[in-house]
Structure 1
Amino acid sequence: MPPIYYLFLGFAFVFGAVVGSFLNVCIYRIPAGESVVSPRSRCPRCGSLIRWYQNIPILSWLFLRGRCANCRTRISPRYVLVEALTGLLFVLVLRDFGIHWATPVFWVFIALLVTITFIDLDHQIIPDVISLPGIVIGFGASFLLPWVSWSDSLLGILLGGGSLFLVAVGYEFLTKKEGMGGGDIKLLAMLGAFLGWKAVLPIIFVSSLLGTLVGVPLMLAKGSDGKLAIPFGPFLAAAAVIWLFWGEFLADWYLQRFL
């Protein structure tokens, strides 16, 4: 590969890490109903402003050894995880889609998924302020992507939202308990908007498989009498990422092996 190729990939990682830094703000502030624009970032304990050179993605956390520069309060390593994860996923998008409209489209898609994942892990909610605009953005993006037509996107929205809605209604009817929140339904509608209707059922299957592989051991570890609420949004997001990067390969593999 020519050096310029690796230069572009490096740019994608740095840009993704910067976006990840902003996503950390969104993850913290959106559930609290706060503005993601102002005020400037502060230490939650001592209230000191975080200066620009203390807010360089990944590097500042390493340089400060994971502590506030003023009061030395420990800063969670998850901030670095979000930045590094976003940077890595941005690299994969650029690697797979190159210089094309799809790259900024799926960068936005990845940013939405990362934000939703960590908010759902923290609060077990998927804010409408993220998923509903995401549906609109995904549908609008279908006019820029040659392999996802507007009709594929529209069907993806209807199939994604409709399928989980039916599952949720059926589960509640049989068990008299709410098993799936409306946020998951809107999230799958958003995934269908970006990826098209063909991705919906594989995403449901893979996310259910991942949820089982993670949830069952956790439930066994907690004990039969314990109540364990596991958010489903992160599994949907992970399945969507798997489909985005490896969906075609996995579909071909499945067809060759089992059909």
Structure 2
Amino acid sequence: MIAVVGGFTGALGLIIGSFLNVVAWRVPRGESIVTPPSACPSCGHEIRARDNVPVLSWLLLRGRCRDCRVAISAHYPVIELLTGAAFVAVALWLAPSILGAAGLEAGAWGAAQPALLAGTVVQLVAFLYLAALTVVLSDIDIAVHRLPNAIVLPGYVVGAVLLTAAALLMGEPQRLLVAAIGMAGSFLFYAIPAFLYPAGMGMGDVKLAGVLGMFLGYLGWEQLVVGVAAAFVVGAVAGIALMIFRRTGRRTPIPFGPWMFAGAWIGIFGGVPLASGYLKLVGLA
């Protein structure tokens, strides 16, 4: 059953990834993500439905436009594959909870809990949404060093609605208090350095911090603290590595959004064991 959940969400991720390619290209340019239909940037021919199948179409066309034969960047199938992989990771993480609520834990039949099942499914949707945000905003930030409000700000509304519904359906409303604290605390934590040194921290990072803090806080204090701290650790390590390999200089701007997301997912998947291990290391547990 877990394989079925993972396979379904992986296929869904490939489809969503195809749409994220459109979002990542058009939103920074102020273009509509609905119209016009996708077309070859070289010859202008509209992409046919059969040529719009995620990954497979690119492979069958050997990475070239059907009409003008100009090369199509491998960036597009890579984004689709990354989104699919991210969706699978989230699904495998939450699948045991979903199957347990459905009375199918460990392959055994049991009594289903409809409210709990609905809550876990909504929770899955919430974190799949976060996975999609991770891919598209990281892609945009790396390309143009921006985190567009048109994508970041709806994250507050969508995240709040989904997480609130999940917490109430699962009978765990206390999650919402920590989520609210995480949202406000993370926003302020990033806002201070952005105010003191605007060249080093942009407001896009500050706004994104609130969204990530909400999701992390929903899961718990350990995930929140580890997720926020890990972003700076990962960002520092990546920055040092880039300078060592001479990909950047000390004054070269480095997009911080991808490292914020990396830190958040470290907190989501490993916040509890990492926090516990640290406390034991320093003798506080």
| TM-score, normalisation: structure 1 | 0.89
Q: Which ranges of structure 2 fall in alignment gaps of 5 or more residues?
A: 99-119
Q: Distance in 1 between matches of 2:29 and 2:247?
A: 32
Cα deviation digits, residues 194-220 of structure 1 (max 9, x gap): 221734442332111211222123224
Provide the identity percentage.
37
> What is aligned with 1:110?
131
SS across alignment from 1:40: coil
Q: In 2, distance between residues paired with 1:207 and 1:161? A: 14
Report SS of the residue matched to 1:30. Answer: helix
Structure 1 unaligned segments of length 5 or more: list them. none
**Deviation digits for residues 91-144 of structure 1, max 9, x if unmatched?**
111111123221111111111121111010011010111111101222223321
- Which whole-Å CA distance do the structure 2 matches of 1:76 and 1:255 have between them? 46
Aligned residue among 59, 62, 66 for 2:59? 62
1:136 pairs, out of 135, 153, 157, with 157
Q: Distance in 2 between matches of 1:242 and 1:192?
A: 13
What residue number does 1:79 align with?
A: 76
Alignment partner, residue 227 of structure 2: 203
Contact 1:188 1:200 in 2 (8 A): no
Give the aligned residue type for 1:55: N
Q: Deviations over 1:162-189 (max 9, x none)?
A: 001112223x2xxxx6210000000010
User: Counterpart of 2:28 in 1: which secondary structure?
Assistant: coil
CA RMSD of aligned residues (A): 2.0
Q: Deviations over 1:223-259 (max 9, x none)?
A: 8977411000010011112222222232233233333
Q: Which residue of 1 aligns with 2:116?
A: none
Change (3 A) 1:12 1:140: same
Amino acid at match of 1:183: G
Instruction: Please give the alpha-carbon distance, in whole angstroms, between the structure 2 residues aligned to 1:38 and 1:238.
Output: 32
- Picking from 232, 252, 260, the partner of 1:236 is 260
Paired with 2:250 and 2:71, the residues of 1 have a C-alpha distance of 31
Asked if the contact 1:159/1:200 (under 8 Å) is kept, the reply is no
Q: Is the 8 A contact 2:153 2:207 kept in 1?
A: yes
Return the alpha-carbon distance in structure 1 between the equivalents of residues 66 and 24 of structure 2: 22
Change over 3 Å in CA distance of 1:179–1:61 after alignment to 2: same
Q: 1:179-218 to 2 correspondence within 5 Å?
A: 179-196=200-217, 198=221, 199-218=223-242
- Name the SS for the 1:29 alignment partner: helix
